[in-house]
Amino acid sequence: MSKRVRPGYYRQEVNKTTWEVPDRYRDLRQVGTGAYGTVCSAVDSRTSTKVAIKKLYRPFQTELFAKRAYRELRLLKHMKHENVIGLLDVFTADLSLDRFHDFYLVMPYMGTDLGKLMKLQRLSEEKIQYLVYQMLKGLKVKNSLKTHNRESDFNCSVDEINILDFGLARQADSEMTGYVVTRWYRAPEVILSWMHYTQTVDIWSVGCIMAEMLQGKPLFKGSDHLDQLTEIMKITGTPTQEFISKLESDDAKSYIKSLPKVEKKDLQKVFSTANPQAVCVLECMLLLDPECRVTAAEALSLPYFSEFRETEEETEAQPYDHSLDNTDLPLDQWKRHTFTEILSFKPVLPESKETSL
């Protein structure tokens, strides 16, 4: 006999998965699936807005899964910033801790991604400035959060608040969570696992997205990993000896040394019809060496963004309490902490801000 549905909730099968959600969320439709969960779009009847609801896949099947689920919830609760997707709601249909098996995260639905937007129209100079400025503000928050946390394995929790989650990116790969940046936007150090990632790994992606806005087509359109690298080096030139010596992989070193030497292209000539200040931004972002790329905070101070700058708005994240993040707890304790976080969630009522997109 199937268990009764919690009052105020209803049960629906979505692609062979049972969803139990509050009555306010209607018209559930699966929009993505990955290793850790499934995402449905829905209409919130209270606000008449479209939302994305994520159901984690068996969040308490192991201590590792439970810790990951707890951290994801804590991070999303912590992020309250207009440029980073925030948590609108979190709920469970399970009435007590001993019956607690599943929970759901509700976030804004990012329906129009930049890819669709660019197919519809060529973006104006002002719109490009605005969109890149917004992405950089969001990245600055994300990077400050990671700095406060100072964890080497922090990236596994941050995929939820990546550039792609700002609703400004293309069709995502199906691997991992379904929110991973496609090859055309990946930083070279990610493509070949050259070296330890730094915070500028996302700056490369922003540079690729900005270049596409200016050109109306992707800048680096590789057909596979190595072709992607070849396309990148046609613009950046082949790496210097100084950069090659920083690589951690001997295979990567020997591969790069075997490549024919290519000179760096002058981006002012590649983007000859673009605003020179916009090209200056790209020059600072699209550098092979992650240590030479601008940070989000540095990029925000470039002249191209001067008319949008409101420095008091370029906030950093409040320090994140990660006292439990490095601990190993038994499964039932992760469960208890997660249940408490769900019960203590206070939704922030969204202001009705219409964007000019």
Distances in Å between the alpha carbon of 172 and those of 21, 57, 177, 271?
26, 19, 9, 27
Cα–Cα distance, 312 to 89 (Å, whole number): 28
Cα–Cα distance, 309 to 180 (Å, whole number): 29
In this structure, what token pair is assigned to residue 302? Answer: 């470039």
Strands 104-108 vs 89-91: parallel, antiparallel or unpaired: antiparallel
Cα–Cα distance, 38 to 55 (Å, whole number): 5
Task: State the distance between the two ends of the chain, measured CA to CA, in whole angstroms.
Answer: 50
Cα–Cα distance, 157 to 330 (Å, whole number): 20
9-41 burial: b if 16+ Cβ within 10 Å, else e: beeeeeeeeebbbbebbeebeeebbbebbbbbb
In this structure, what token pair is assigned to residue 107? Answer: 């976030």
R_g (Cα) of the chain, nearest Å: 22
Cα–Cα distance, 272 to 101 (Å, whole number): 57
Give the full edge-to-edge strand order of the sheet including 25-33: 25-33, 37-44, 49-56, 104-108, 89-91
Question: Residue 86 half-sphere exposure, CB side, CA atoms within 13 Å?
Answer: 16
55 is in an annotated binding site: yes
Helices 125-149 and 201-215: crossing angle in degrees, nearest 10, is 170
In this structure, what token pair is assigned to residue 232? Answer: 């990148």
- Residues annotated within the binding site for ATP are 55
Q: Which residues are annotated as a binding site?
A: 55
